[in-house]
Amino acid sequence: MEHTAASPVPGLDDPPIPRRQVTRHPELDDPRFRTLVRERRTFAWTLTVVMLTIYFSFILTLAFRPAMLGHPIVSGQPMTWGIPVGFTMFVVTFALVALYVHRANAVYDMMAAQVRRGVEP
């Protein structure tokens, strides 16, 4: 469900952090927090690398081997490999987004909620 109007956004109205008297957040010593950070960041950066690899493979193919994408799929017909490859790029982009959203909703939100509950009274 969406955020409701009644509950304010968590933490938004906090005063700015006071300088020179840094109090360490207790969550930092919670092993579940460290697991959450490690797992989510590994997943997010892995997907980033996947996206960048796919995207720059496409761009570099354009730059170095344009003929590969310009080759007709069926000889004599106008459709070249570049067309389905290009549209597949759209689909892959959306699929990666959907994959991340699914995992974040299913796993990371729950882990974050546990960490929050664990420290709050």
Q: What residues numbered 27-86 form the site for other proteins, per CB under 8 A?
A: 27-28, 33, 36-37, 40, 44-45, 47-48, 51-52, 55-56, 58-60, 62-64, 66-67, 69-70, 72, 77-80, 82-83, 86
Q: Please report how close the Cβ of residue 82 comes to other proteins at its closest, in angstroms.
A: 6
DSSP 107: I
- 72 contacts: CB under 8 Å, gap ≥ 6: 78, 79, 80, 81
Q: Which of 24, 31, 75, 106 binds other proteins (CB under 8 A)?
A: 24
Coil, helix or strand for 73?
coil
Q: Which is nearer to other proteins, 17 or 31 (CB)?
A: 17
CA dihedral 5, 10, 14, 20 (to 10 degrees): -170
- Would you say 43 and 103 are in contact if contact means Cβ atoms under 8 Å apart? yes
Q: Please report how close the Cβ of residue 10 comes to other proteins at its closest, in angstroms.
A: 4
Q: Which of 35, 42, 53, 97 binds other proteins (CB under 8 A)?
A: 97
Question: How many residues touch other proteins (CB under 8 A)?
Answer: 73
Integer-rounded Cα Rg, in Å, for the chain is: 23
3-state secondary structure 43-70: HHHHHHHHHHHHHHHHHHHHHHCHHHHC
Q: Which of 35, 93, 107, 110 binds other proteins (CB under 8 A)?
A: 93
Interface with other proteins, residue 110, by CB under 8 A: no
